[in-house]
Amino acid sequence: MRRILITVLIIIGLAWAGCKEPFDAKLGPGQTNFLVVEGFINTAGQTTINLSRSLSLKERANIKPELNAQVTVTGEDNSVYNVKPAGNGTYVSDVLNLRSTQKYRLRIKTASGGDYLSDFTAVMQTPPIDSINWKLQNNGVQIFANTHDPQNNTRYYKWEYEETWEINSSYSNYVKYVNGRVIPRDLSEIPKLFYCWKTQNFTSILVGSSAQLTNDVINLAPMVFIPIESEKLGVRYSILVRQVSLDRPAYQFYQLMKSNTEALGSVFDPLPSEITGNIHCVSNPSEKVIGYVTASTVVQKRIFISRSDVAGKYANDCQSTYVKPDSLKFYVEMAGLLPYDQDGYAPAPVSGYYLSFPSCISCLILLSQFFQFLQLFFTQVICDVFIF
């Protein structure tokens, strides 16, 4: 009887697996290639706008920036401010000092002749960030933001953050291997190979609201979680959090974007919804545009976390190998190791060399590997926007 039951369960499992089929969304030409506008009008600083095109599911390994567009910020008083191309679909203005009593909007003219306008929006004043703090929890560090508006005027918030952390090589690199010979490094080279810093911008949508509260207070809004074994906590870590104010329609737009882009695709997730914003194509009113442009001041705050503060557990598993001079060539050319120090310097004879892998003796190589990972990661990010 037990064998029969096991056999039945196996058959049911195979049948269930056989029912799964890949989903191929059939999107017509008019359901892709929408202009995507990311950014906001910074009324007291540089405005940065990113322009791209939405992609089909089959194009997810490519990002399609919108190049050679003309981007301006215009006011109801007919003032015009240029937002200049900075490459790869990014457009940046000079430092702006816009009037808080005026309304502003974004105008975009693409190289293909498209003309796009956002709705006029009032300037919002962003209250200061009260604090950025962190807590040890779930074998990691959770970072939070706290803010409040004593006038109860803001209610809706959006955050961005930039992470920077120090990395060190496992060994100081005093020598280099050149044309089969080991020669001492210039003293100025050694610190550059030992001390490096990595910087990474946020990739998620972070919004919060106090609309359901009596007072306009945001307490412990989660920013980012860092596992205790992460390289970020290996030496010293820093996070710079930027905060902007939103109006209610903008908050709802970003909430919908967050739901559509971060859902895991389980049966319990809400279905993707149509994304609409406050940007319109005036040259072709039937064309869809994705984005929501607001005008706001920006506030920011930075904190630092050292490895000793959180008892970081990052380890890179680097090991050192000691070899005699007659074995050096084999270890370098066959095993891929490189010397970083030696026993004996001129005029004394060299009795041996200390070797390790290149990534263990040069933090610049670790940086190169990190940027290669980022490039691979972002080319795999789902860039599709679902329009139903």
Would you say residue 17 has pLDDT above 90?
no
Supply the pLDDT for residue 276: 74
Q: Is the bond preceding 270 in cis, omega lying within 30 degrees of 0?
A: no
- Span 23-43, mean pLDDT? 75
Distance, C-alpha 176 to centroid of its chain? 35
- For 321-368, write each residue's pLDDT tens digit: 999 999 999 999 999 999 999 998 878 889 999 999 999 999 998 665
Say what percent of the chain tops pLDDT 70. Answer: 81
Of 256 and 375, the one with more pLDDT: 256
| Residue 40: exposure state from Cβ atoms within 10 A (0-12, 13-18, ≥19) | buried
Instruction: State the CB neighbour count (10 A cutoff) for residue 349.
Output: 9
Supply the pLDDT for residue 366: 66
Name which of 33-37, 61-65, 105-109, 316-320 the model is least confident about.
61-65
Would you say residue 163 has pLDDT above 80?
yes
Distance, C-alpha 351 to centroid of its chain? 48
Owner of token pair 């240029």: 82
Phi/psi at 368 (5° precision): -60, -40
- Long-range contacts of 105-108, Cβ-Cβ distance < 8 Å, separation of 24 or more: 105/73, 105/74, 105/293, 106/37, 106/41, 106/49, 106/71, 106/72, 106/73, 106/74, 106/279, 106/293, 107/71, 107/72, 107/73, 107/74, 108/35, 108/37, 108/51, 108/69, 108/70, 108/71, 108/279
38, 117, 199, 284, 370 from 236: Cα distances, Å:
31, 44, 12, 51, 17
Residue 166 to residue 191: CA distance in whole angstroms: 13
305 Cβ neighbours under 8 A, 6+ residues apart: 134, 141, 233, 236, 237, 238, 239
Owner of token pair 């959090």: 241
What's this model's pTM, rounded to 2 decimal places?
0.81
Would you say residue 383 has pLDDT above 90?
no
With bands split at pLDDT 50, 70 and 90, how would you rate the model's confidence at 263?
Answer: low
What would the two tokens of residue 83 be? 């937002």
Q: Where are the domains of the chain?
A: 29-124+248-293, 169-195+317-367
Owner of token pair 């989903």: 23
- For 276-297, write each residue's pLDDT tens digit: 799 999 999 999 999 999 999 9
DSSP letters, 49-90, are EEEEE-B-GGGTT--EE--S-EEEEEETT--EEEEEEEETTE
- Average pLDDT of the residues of the chain: 86
Residue 368 to residue 347: CA distance in whole angstroms: 36
